[in-house]
Structure 1
């Protein structure tokens, strides 16, 4: 790695670190600085690019998870045939402004870095942020100054294959990040497909607040715990009451058995009684027959 390249990477990393310290957990990095860095990186990685060939741009290890590709096209080729690459479908009849002879398309997939560079208030990003940017190009410089392009036919189609979990009743919508951090929303034309008419960065979002048709999982868990504790208490109290009733029934049955024995004893010979604990038992006060001594 050259000294100049190392210096650029160091400055960008330092700026990201300082932004995180100043802004806290809610800070977001500057995506325009990222675009400039990616353009310089693309020029360094592709010294002798061929027209019509897609090149994957190597990034430093601290940008793991981000994917960037570039391709240089002739103006006539982009106008007549368009281009399909990865998750992007560029239709024919795209015209660069100004009308350059060669145009370079930069494809970005920010991956797990998406939420670090882009934020949608009151919405949650559920798909990677994809970017498609146009630059003028020459034989010596692959990526030069940023330009615009307009579509005079079908729209550009962006397909999002990796979509995070979201509520069953929350249908994602397309979000376009324009200049000045302005976000534009648009419904999907097909499941996880957005149609756009200009360059920029795009993703899918859902509302951050829970859908009224779908209860919050955390509140559902709290209600479940509450009813479980209440059911446990009621069951425990019921079990104690049942045990007390059984003990009372056993004690009453024992008393009835003793009373029955006393009634039976009243019909025959009288017996004395004595107590052992709470139990009253008969006791013979004299012997029935006297013993006789034999010679």
Structure 2
């Protein structure tokens, strides 16, 4: 393998190593992909669903900790009676937009996977992310396209039964995650209860740093980790580049020695060379006088 080939291979390795470091610093997964997967999983598992019956959706092992359920309702039933389930209370007078004959409600508890999909800058989540999603529903697909709610009466209530110690010591606030990646905040109306007026994903948060000492300690730890990772990456790339430079110098010195030996062996006259198999032989140019025809 030639030097240029080695150089290309090394550059590929360096790029892959650098990208793996960057990906290692990013621990969040795609939220839309999760929603699409849960929708397909519900359609795959639940065949011939009955209207008004709540079904649990099985979750693969890599999503252990999540709980997902789905129910199909008639729009009139949702408007007249609402729907209560676990941590969610959907009161009457809820309309779908666009209008649908049947609606599929997907209830999500992301559990210990919440922090993999959602993050609130400068805040700490003290409860799992709970989601209530609305979809169109038909005979061909239990869960169809995503739709919206219009709440004409009382707001939707979401209870958070699992709040960690940090949240119980302070006063959390409700956080709603929007499709554009923004976070909207709203105060709790009751302890660990959020009142909302649209489907989506919600959680409880507190400010990340409750005191100057805590802020200094955590920010120092983050800076140390970041600089350590960057320093390691820069050092590794520098060593690779240095090794390539040394390799180039060694190969150039060897080439010069070989050319000098070839020149000396030919009586100070440098010959061209050619290969026969794996043997390199000198090649002398033709010096014979060309014949001239006489009249």
Query: Higher Cα Rg: structure 1 or 2?
Result: 1
What is the count of residue pairs matched by the alignment? Answer: 199
CA-CA distance at 1:112 after TM superposition: 0.3
Deviation at 1:179, TM superposition (A): 1.6
* Aligned position for 2:184: 184
Higher deviation after alignment, 78-87 or 134-143: 134-143
Alignment TM-score, normalising by the size of structure 2? 0.64
- Secondary structure of 1:48's aligned partner: coil
Distance across 2 between alignment mates of 1:55 and 1:134: 15
Does the C-alpha gap of structure 1 residues 85 and 21 become closer, same or farther in structure 2, counting only changes over 3 Å? farther
1:143 aligns with 2:143: yes
Which residue of 2 is the match for residue 44 of structure 1?
44
- Aligned position for 2:58: 58
> For residue 84 of structure 2, what is the aligned residue in structure 1?
84
TM-score under structure 1 normalisation? 0.64
CA contact (8 A) 1:167 1:211 kept: no
How has the CA–CA distance of structure 1 residues 86 and 169 changed in structure 2, closer, same or farther, with 3 Å as cutoff?
Answer: closer
**Aligned match of 1:96:** 96
RMSD between superposed Cα atoms in Å? 2.1
**Residues 169 and 211 of structure 1 are in contact (CA less than 8 Å); yes or no, is this contact kept in structure 2?**
no
In 1: Cα distance, 2:131 partner to 2:122 partner: 22
Change beyond 3 A, Cα 1:72–1:126: same
CA displacement, residues 126-169 of structure 1 (integer Å, 9 cap, x when unaligned): 10000111000012210011111110000000000000121676
2:231 is aligned to none
Contact 1:173/1:185 (CA < 8 Å) preserved in 2? yes
- Aligned ranges 1:186-205 → 2 under 5 Å: 186-205=186-205
Deviations for 1:159-185, whole angstroms, at most 9, x for unmatched residues? 000001216763100000012111000
CA distance in 2, matches of 1:132, 1:105: 7
Distance across 2 between alignment mates of 1:165 and 1:118 = 20
Q: Deviations over 1:164-218 (max 9, x none)?
A: 1216763100000012111000000000000000011000000111247xx7599
Verify the 8 A CA contact 1:73 1:102 in the aligned structure 2: yes
Structure 1, unaligned runs of 5 or more: 1-18, 220-295
